[in-house]
Amino acid sequence: MAEKRNDQKLAPSKRSWMAVGKAKINENSFAGLKNSERSDYQYVRINIGIDTGEGNVVYAELMGGYSMGNPIIYSSSKDDGSLLEIPWANRQEEAIVSSVADYRLHKVGLHRDEKGKLDIKTFLSPVDMHDYLKENLKDGMEIAVRGNIKYQEYNGEVQKKYEIQNIFLPFENKDKEGNVLPTTYKAEFTQTILLDESSYKRMTKKDKDNGEVIVSAYAVDYVSKKNGKEYKKNDPFNIGLYVKINEEDPSKTEKILDKLFKVGKGKVREITVEGKIIEGYDQQSVSDKDIELSDEVKELIEMGLYSKEEAKEKMTVRGNKVSKMLFTRPFIQKDQDNPKSLLMDINDTKYTPEDLIVLDEEDVDEALDNESSQEENQDDSSSVSEADWMKELGI
């Protein structure tokens, strides 16, 4: 790295995620209270999978606990955001829970009454949430999970974790007759990223062959310690944002890439995007011309027991494990000054390239102590169609 960053300018990113699918529970999902080997801290770790179909499983987790020598929960006030120190023994008192900022609470709704209303339980500590989920969340249950994406560096590599905030039964869509429709499974994110001049140049032949472009971006997250020393700063973490190329019209994708992700020399762009979370395996299908059906399979098709499409699905080959953040659209919100207009969450003047420089190891001791930043828990989706945002871009 060149020069060190002298001040704390980076703000934490919007980095929310949500997934709807079937819960995957195993013996490690709720392993109970553990004792830290280095202190008197006791903690739990919740680890569940959300199967959204087609081999895509998002694994989410939540950790938390308390010090036995100083049993206090540190939280934030709902009124003014000030620090709250809550005695462990009082953590479930209704008056105390109601005084805490919503984004510091964990909510679970796994049961409905006779009218279909969710019975929502609210938890201040992951320990209590762990115990409730262990008794009430079953393998295969349809759930909707929301939370924040957390970034950290380990052995020189950026790790991404899907942290759990709330877990509910999925929203029930009904037809005109009042019948509950099948749940739509999905895994999505909203992420503020930073781009510089090296993030994207131009679409290459290799990109077209792969069917996607990888944009090199940064996500900002809070780092409390680095190299075992107190750090307390917001740092940029390098991430890859995948953009699928339009097979019918690659030039359409190129226009989007140039408009959103191509940044001038010496500039840094902040932009919030939405996309799909891919946590599964590459799948390769055999083309129709290469499929050879045996006489037995042909007979099954003639009997109506299988279709040719179903037979083709059996030929799908599972490849390498993949973990991708797949771009779908920029985050768009209403213009507060003009409610009839839509605006992208984009800024080209907020940061400079120097703000993306991470402190070297020898500079960690010089890092200023800053108060822990409060992260946004839940973002409202822009809920606009592709046609809407592309019209705004003039594409």
3-state secondary structure the chain: CCCCCCCCCCCCCCEEEEEEEEEECCCCCECCCEECCCCCEEEEEEEEEEEEECCEEEEEEEEEEEECCCCEEEEEECCCCCEEEEEHHHCCCHHHHCCECHHHCEEEEEEECCCCCEEEEEECCHHHHHHHHHHHCCCCCEEEEEEEEEEEEECCEEEEEEEEEEEECCCCCECCCCCECCCCCEEEEEEEEEECCCCCCCCCHHHHHHCEEEEEEEEEEEEEEECCEEEEEEEEEEEEEEEECCCCCHHHHHHHHHHHCCCCCCCCEEEEEEEEEEEEEEEECCCHHHCCCCHHHHHHHHCCCCCHHHHHHCCCEEEEEEEEEEEEEECEEECCCCCCCEEECEECCCCCHHHHCCCCHHHHHHCCCCCCCCCCCCCCCCCCCHHHHHHHHCC
* Six-digit token string for 138: 């079953």
| Other CB atoms within 10 Å distance of the CB of residue 103 | 14
Segments making up each domain of the chain, as ranges: 15-393
Ranges in the chain, pLDDT < 50: 1-6, 285-286, 366-384, 389
Query: In angstroms, rounded to a whole number, what is the distance separating the alpha carbons of residues 69 and 60?
Result: 30
Do residues 373 and 234 touch, judged by C-beta distance below 8 A? yes
- Identify the pLDDT of residue 363: 55
- Identify the pLDDT of residue 371: 32
Q: Cβ-count burial of 63 within 10 angstroms (0-12 exposed, 13-18 middle, 19+ buried)?
A: middle
Query: In angstroms, rounded to a whole number, what is the distance separating the alpha carbons of residues 332 and 318?
Result: 36
* Six-digit token string for 266: 């010496």
pTM: 0.82
CA angle in degrees (0–180, nearest 5) for 296-302-305 = 80
- Identify the pLDDT of residue 96: 97
- Identify the pLDDT of residue 374: 33
Which residue reads 């606009």 in tokens? 384
Do residues 232 and 372 touch, judged by C-beta distance below 8 A? yes
- Identify the pLDDT of residue 372: 32
**How many Å is the Cα radius of gyration of the chain?**
24
- Identify the pLDDT of residue 368: 37
- Identify the pLDDT of residue 313: 64
pLDDT digits (tens, 9 = 90+) for 49-73: 999 998 999 999 999 999 999 999 9
- Identify the pLDDT of residue 212: 96
- Identify the pLDDT of residue 8: 56
